[in-house]
Amino acid sequence: MANKNKEKLVDVKNLKTYFYTEEGVVKAVDGIDFEIYPGETLGIVGESGCGKSVTSLSIMGLVESPPGKIAEGEILFEGIDLTKLSQAEMRKIRGNEISMIFQEPMTSLNPVYTIGDQISEAIIIHKGLSKKEAMKESVEMLKKVGIPLPEQRINEYPHQLSGGMRQRVMIAMALSCDPKLLIADEPTTALDVTIQAQILELMNSLKASYGMSIMMITHDLGVIAEISDRVAVMYAGKIVEYTDVNTLFADPKHPYTWGLMNSIPKLDRDVNRLQAIPGIVPNPLNFPDGCKFNTRCPLAEGKCFTDEPKIVDAAEGHKVRCWRYKDLEEMKKQNVKIYEEQR
Ligand SMILES: Nc1ncnc2c1ncn2[C@@H]1O[C@H](COP(=O)(O)OP(=O)(O)OP(=O)(O)O)[C@@H](O)[C@H]1O
Ligand code: SF4
Ligand SMILES: [Mg+2]
């Protein structure tokens, strides 16, 4: 892989983030390993509840505690284990070295302050500029994220902007401190497809000019294809496949990834025939024995119901967690469809 010789910016090792609830322990993130290199975009994809947001909140030091806790593992950021830092030390890292944008900007923008006030406040805190200088820089930031008439826009309130414009403002705020890592949790899900494409394009171009790394969280493989260099596919708190984006699409080795691929809308297909993976995600309080995907996997047999597979190197730079990935390879060669097309 291209980045192999670079030093890791982020190195997550055996991360376990659990929630200790009255009903039992929710193993939201249950032993994941991944790394992010300088300047790359790592995509994290999986269905609702698989642990994507908890992974990002763990890195940000924002897991709600109690009931949540990092039960085990390390999150090395430039070699420093973030799980060992105090709240005060973490606050310094957040918004300086690492910043985050969320799915719905209205929840993170303050409705009673103007756009200019909010961006400039971030700039004042992180760069120590005067109010006047910070306002000037806010205008520059708004220009960079493609907001027309920025001198006018800085005096407006969040509700006066469209969803796409608000998301651009969030990106401007997140970038105002020049972070080394930008975590984006479903930043385009609330937007329509055209605006979504514009925001992804914007993030790609900003990444090139700022040289930061991005961790992009999404349930949408289309978004992954647009923006990622490498991808971690998550299911039930674990990474089930991990490789570079081209390999993932050309040669998915996990039955779950294969199912997700089937669910990408194809232009020549009737929307009603969109294939989703049949069945539901198991309840985290009551995961099945063996492989956690066995309740939905068309290839599940024998050992899959008793022993959980470990993640292994199926090829160089391509990890997969499945007892039967070699069988799946054979099936693909023979063009066997493992998921029925829905009508
Ligand atoms: N505060 C909490 N208390 C108890 N369980 C929680 C808490 N926060 C998250 N969880 C559980 O952790 C698991 C992972 O949640 P997470 O929010 O990371 O999912 P996700 O992959 O981001 O899903 P989505 O695509 O819906 O955003 C879920 O089972 C969720 O119910
Ligand atoms: S281990 Fe078995 S149940 Fe799990 S994904 Fe592989 S074939 Fe399916
Ligand atoms: Mg989430």
Dihedral angle sign, alpha carbons of residues 170, 175, 179, 182? positive
Q: Where are the alpha helices (DSSP H) in the chain?
A: 52-60, 87-93, 105-108, 115-127, 131-144, 150-153, 163-175, 193-210, 221-227, 245-250, 255-262, 325-333
Distance CA 99, CA 247 (A): 29
What pLDDT, in 10s, does the model give residues 129-172? 999 999 999 999 898 888 999 999 999 999 999 888 898 898 88
CA-nearest residue for atom 5, ligand 2, is: 322
- Note whether 238 and 255 are within 8 A (CB): no
What separation in Å is there between the alpha carbon of 12 and the centre of ligand 2? 25
Number of H helices, E strands in the chain: 12, 12
| Ligand 2 in reach of 290 Cβ (< 6 A) | no
CA-nearest residue for atom 20, ligand 1, is: 49
Structure tokens at 309: 């597979």
| pLDDT in the model for residue 273 | 44
| pLDDT in the model for residue 275 | 55
What mean pLDDT do residues 113-132 have?
90
What pLDDT, in 10s, does the model give residues 65-78? 999 999 999 999 99
CA-nearest residue for atom 22, ligand 1, is: 53
Distance CA 266, CA 163 (A): 26
| Ligand 2 in reach of 297 Cβ (< 6 A) | yes
- CA angle 184–186–189, rounded 5-degree value: 140
Under the banding of pLDDT at 50, 70 and 90, the label for residue 320 is very high
Residue 56, φ and ψ in degrees, nearest 5: -70, -40
Say whether pTM exceeds 0.85: yes
What mean pLDDT do residues 74-86 have?
97
Is residue 4 predicted with pLDDT exceeding 70? no
For residue 304, what are the contacts with CB-CB under 8 A and spacing of at least 6?
290, 291, 294, 297, 323, 324
Under the banding of pLDDT at 50, 70 and 90, the label for residue 176 is confident
| Ligand 2 in reach of 235 Cβ (< 6 A) | no
| Ligand 2 in reach of 293 Cβ (< 6 A) | yes
Distance CA 331, CA 113 (A): 58
Q: DSSP state, 306?
A: T
CB atoms within 10 A of CB 244: 18
What pLDDT, in 10s, does the model give residues 334-343? 888 888 764 3
Distance CA 6, CA 37 (A): 7
Ligand 1 pocket (Cβ < 6 Å) reads: 19, 21, 26, 28, 46, 48-54, 64, 67-68, 219, 284
